[in-house]
Amino acid sequence: MSALNLDDFANLIERPDGGRRRDAEERRERRLVQPAALGRLDELGDWLAAVQQQVPVRPLDRVRTVLFAGDHGVAELGVSGRAAGSATDLVRAVLDGTSPAAVLARRFGAAPRVVDMALDCDPAELPEDVTRHRVRRGSGRIDIEDALTAEEAEQAFRAGMLIADEEADAGTDLVVLGDLSVGGTTAAGALIAALCGTDASVVTGRGGAGIDDLAWMRKCAAIRDALRRARPVLGDQLALLAATAGADLTAATGFLLQSAVRRTPVILDGVVSAACALVAQRIAFRAPDWWLAGQASGEPAQAKALDRIALTPLLDHGVTAGEGTGALLALPLVQAAASLAAELPVREPAAEDAPEKAATDG
């Protein structure tokens, strides 16, 4: 296996096709609908043309929901509304089709793919296609120890890259990215605080499951302690992920970067995917051009990360369920933008150019 050089991503990732974006804008100007009547849907249509390198854009018929799963040792401190080590229950709900994300994914045609990176359960309890990329059983307690060894971090990062390649090779034209984790928002808060240079209290939210004031204080203290361990490795993003992220967040970061390499657009969900996106931006500054922020969850860390990445959420409904739920709610909006950009009638250029053509023929 060749050495993993994160600096390569800065060279491999190109911006979406600016020429196709201009073509889409020119086509939109000839549309019969009143200019600016569709608001941000027009902007989304232009973005889709650029990422697809195609005008008019094609429908978004092959959408996939990718959910990286893991338990975080820091949950033992009582920082989550769910019991430590219970992320397997979230996974089973998705697989059984009974979670909010599973319901929405079924409704919107975005079949979920669950990837166990660090669940705290016997692998035999879950299907082999879910567990085959697992790095370890639970990530380390980030307030006192690294989440991963250096080798485990590279393994998780490469797993995320591999899954991005598999989705691109399968013809997936849009990914909804989410997580199935217990303690994941604490790890995300530590990453965001470290990269934004802020204190723990600024980024500590209530998490997807909701926590009371005492749990919030425990979470704030855990992020504070994790920050002390994160700051010395801020210049090495893989080391930062090993210190504070966990296998699921590390894999999601690799997934985001390799998806950008493969020109696969991604809708981000909540604070966990925002934290991974912030790390990925540090690695390759052009990568965010391939992502959309699905929704504003109300988590302060997510708002801080998205502001740093310069992504504006499509929706603001305060959905904190995680699992990609908020991003899935934004999916119909993106699909609508694709359909409108492709199917609304436009004035044909030939009719506008007729007088000039006649003068030339004469």
* DSSP state letters, 282-347: HH-TTGGGGEEE-B--S-HHHHHHHHHHT---SB-S-----TTHHHHHHHHHHHHHHHHHHHS-B-
- CB neighbours of 204 closer than 8 A, spacing ≥ 6? 189, 216, 219, 220, 223, 300, 301
Q: Is 166 a catalytic residue?
A: no
- 90 touches 99 (CB < 8 A): yes
Report d(CA 98, CA 277) in Å as an integer. 28
**Cα–Cα separations (whole angstroms), residue 60 to 173, 175, 255:** 6, 10, 20
Dist. CA 30–CA 19, nearest whole Å = 17
Which listed residue (152, 154, 167, 323) is catalytic? 323
3-state secondary structure of 211: coil
Residue closest to 60 by CA, chosen among 275, 282, 294, 337? 337
- CA-to-CA distance for 127 and 130, rounded, in angstroms? 5
Question: What is d(CA 306, CA 313) in angstroms, rounded to the nearest whole number?
Answer: 8
Of 185, 173, 141, 167, give the one whose Cα is nearest residue 273.
Answer: 185
Partners of 31 in the beta sheet?
A: 346
Report the alpha-carbon distance of residue 120 to residue 126 in Å, rounded: 12
Q: What are the angstrom distances between the C-alpha of 353 and each of 90, 91, 258, 346, 348? A: 59, 58, 43, 15, 9
- Any idea which residues carry the catalytic annotation? 323
